Amino acid sequence: MTAFSLDPEQTARCARLREQAAERLLPLVEKADEGAGAGAPGRVNRPLVAALGELGLLEDLFTSGALDLCLMRESLARVCTEAETALALQGLGGHPVHAYGTPAQRERWLPAVGAGRAVAAFALSEPGAGSDAAALALSATPDGPSAWRLTGEKSWISNAPEADFYTVFARTAPDAGARGVTAFLVPADRAGLTGAPLAMLSPHPIGTLSFDGVRVGADDVLGEVDRGFRVAMTTLNRFRPSVGAFAVGMAQAALDATLAHTAARDAFGGKLKDLQAVSHQVAEMATRTQAARLLVYAAAAAYDRGEPDIAGRAAMAKLFATESAQFVVDTAVQLHGARGLLHGHLLEHLYREVRAPRIYEGASEVQRTVIAKELYGARPQEPQREKGTPTA
């Protein structure tokens, strides 16, 4: 890929993904909606996860680079947001095991996650610690030489309470902030672990988890004791540009629908697109979508090359793409008029879907904080001289 376009192989892969989403994945979502009632809270669509596995897409999560992950997410999102999110959550919950797990942990869980037989989840947020992730309080108290008991709550956890295992971040050192957090791989059937679904605006399953003295041992630790904040942050570095890709896919779907609608709709003696008030809005939607896409691709490509400033670039990509997608989807609703808000209309669906990504995996405000930290950290501290100021 150059800085400006995908190569033909990547373009062909995106087209194939869109086809697979339309033929294999979308029907499984429509079927679930008929069966369980649209948006049944907290329910994982297991046939959908299994189909993602059969198509080989879940295995790709762990073998492909960040840019390929973005292309997958963008392509699926254009056709079927539910499939996109189911894929992403397998990646978010599974990545800490892939990147930090012991051979035994990897063998036990990664083939099952890749095949879509095991559902993964990433459990960082708590009722009292969202944006301020280092303030998390779920306590891991020692229970013998190398075991702990987990006690406390997690909240807003995607795939809870139906996941098969959770990547759980708990406090092993009180009062140590980010340096006292440990990541654990906790199977869902551990005694003392319960959960409940939450009914949210966002259509994917989200719930709470309650830990009542759940026993974990050294074999359950992901990475090193007290070094779990890094596990969380490096996972987010990888996934944040791809949240942007999800947003770009939704924005493109809204733009495509708007182009079709405004070209066909009769109004004021012509087509809607003949009104400059309409066509200029569409041009703005397309420009912001493309700018977001380029920022996402650039951040992901930088991640794949191992460049040093990836946290800030990932943050910029996520911030700009999710905020732009909100604008694009909202404008698309406006240009569709009332029909865009009809239950079951693509835009009504996207309008609900587009809101949460501005909050999860680091709210827009957190992304600005990450960007600003990097900017000031990298800059010389003394004020810059004005042009022409003598140097001696």
Q: Which residue in 71, 87, 282, 366 binds ligand COS (CB under 6 A)?
A: 366
Q: How far is the CB of 134 from ligand COS (least distance, A)?
A: 3
Nearest in space to 51 (alpha carbons), one of 76, 78, 15: 76
Torsion sign (Cα): 8, 14, 19, 24: positive
Q: Which of 82, 84, 361, 374 is catalytic?
A: 361
Q: How far is the CB of 322 from ligand COS (least distance, A)?
A: 13
Exposure b/e, 293-311, CB count within 10 A at least 16 = b = bbbbbbbbbbbbeeeeebb
How many whole angstroms separate alpha carbon 114 and alpha carbon 205? 20
Q: Which is nearer to ligand COS, 113 or 370 (CB)?
A: 370
What is the distance in angstroms between the CA of the first residue and the CA of the last residue of the chain? Answer: 47
Q: Which is nearer to ligand COS, 134 or 137 (CB)?
A: 134
Q: Is 162 a catalytic residue?
A: no
**Beta bridge pairs of residue 209:** 154, 195
Residue 179, interface with ligand COS (CB under 6 A)? yes
Q: Which is nearer to ligand COS, 340 or 362 (CB)?
A: 362
Q: Which is nearer to ligand COS, 300 or 311 (CB)?
A: 311
Q: How far is the CB of 73 from ligand COS (least distance, A)?
A: 15
Q: How far is the CB of 67 from ligand COS (least distance, A)?
A: 19
Q: How far is the CB of 326 from ligand COS (least distance, A)?
A: 17
Torsion sign (Cα): 181, 183, 184, 187: positive
Q: Which residue in 74, 84, 330, 361 binds ligand COS (CB under 6 A)?
A: 361
Enter the tokens of residue 80: 């079927």
Q: Which is nearer to ligand COS, 241 or 362 (CB)?
A: 362
Touching ligand COS, residues 82-141 (CB under 6 A): 122, 124-125, 131-134
How many whole angstroms separate alpha carbon 203 and alpha carbon 195? 18
How many whole angstroms separate alpha carbon 89 and alpha carbon 147? 28
| DSSP string for 121-173 | EEE--BTTBSSSGGG---EEEE-STTEEEEEEEEEEEETTTT-SEEEEEEESS
With a CB cutoff of 8 Å and minimum separation 6, the contacts of 12 are none
Touching ligand COS, residues 282-341 (CB under 6 A): 311
Q: Which residue in 161, 250, 362, 374 binds ligand COS (CB under 6 A)?
A: 362
Touching ligand COS, residues 8-67 (CB under 6 A): none
Q: Which is nearer to ligand COS, 280 or 373 (CB)?
A: 373
How many whole angstroms separate alpha carbon 111 and alpha carbon 320? 34
Binding mask 220-249 for ligand COS (x = CB under 6 A): ---------xx--xx-xx------------
The catalytic site residues sit at: 361
Residues near ligand COS, by CB under 6 A = 122, 124-125, 131-134, 178-179, 229-230, 233-234, 236-237, 311, 360-362, 366, 369-370
